[in-house]
Chain A
Amino acid sequence: DAKTTQPPSMDCAEGRAANLPCNHSTISGNEYVYWYRQIHSQGPQYIIHGLKNNETNEMASLIITEDRKSSTLILPHATLRDTAVYYCIVSAFGNEKLTFGTGTRLTIIP
């Protein structure tokens, strides 16, 4: 049973920011928020992770609410290649298995 809730699907116009929400109201103090994406039948690709501070890397930004019960992944300028299923996962750091939910199928519209 996944510990996160995500909308099943979203559309975003090419060039616009894609904002993907995730609820994780039962997150524990030692659990990180991870985001992965899976582009059609390829292996999941790591995007970003965070504990309580907002994080940014070359792929995306992660905004975590102060109470840590939800987060938003932001793809600042979505391209067609960002069309994928995006998974939000909470997990403690250190060789702990990942529990995948159903994710959000993001479609970038030309």
Chain B
Amino acid sequence: SAVISQKPSRDICQRGTSLTIQCQVDSQVTMMFWYRQQPGQSLTLIATANQGSEATYESGFVIDKFPISRPNLTFSTLTVSNMSPEDSSIYLCSVEDLRRGGYTFGSGTRLTVV
């Protein structure tokens, strides 16, 4: 199955600052998905990132707050901008595994905003 390297694994950030999360895949993929998991909650999709085009955001998420880059078929970044304590969550990237079926997830970035 596809292998995803997600960095950083965790961070503690000051409110008002921004954090960029990186996701590297060991194979070329068309779409990459970014999810948020708030404490004690299930996963919620933030946006879908296609290479060479703007990301598609889900309801409740906006590009100014969560800008996404997708420079090539193996890499994507998600930035959490102007952070507040409410942004404290686990952020995960995911790709479809065409060889096996289903989706593979990164190990997640645990973000704490203080």
A interface residues, Cβ below 8 angstroms from B: 32, 34, 36, 41-46, 49, 87, 93-95, 97-103
Contacts and interface: CB of A to CB of B under 8 A. Distances in A.
Given A46-B1, A46-B102, A49-B102, A99 B107 contact: no
Interface in B56-108: 58, 90, 92, 94, 96-97, 100-108
A101 B44 CA distance: 9
B28 interface: no
Contacts of B90: 41
A105 to B, nearest CB: 11
A43 B92 contact: yes
B45 A95 contact: no
A43 B107 contact: yes
A46 B110 contact: no
Contact of A44 (B31, B101, B105): B105
Contacts, number: 53
Contacts of A32: 101
A72 B1 CA distance: 24
Contact of B100 (A46, A97, A103): A46
Give the dominant DSSP class at A's interface.
Answer: loop
A43 B102 contact: no
Given A42-B108, A94-B96, A95-B30, A100 B102 contact: no
Given A41-B90, A44-B43, A46-B1, 6 more contacts: A43-B106, A49-B101, A87-B42, A94-B96, A98-B33, A101-B42
B48 interface: yes
Contacts of A34: 102-103
Nearest to A93: B101
B43 A46 contact: no
Given A41-B108, A95-B30, A95-B96, A46 B42 contact: no
A1 to B, nearest CB: 12
Contacts of A99: 45
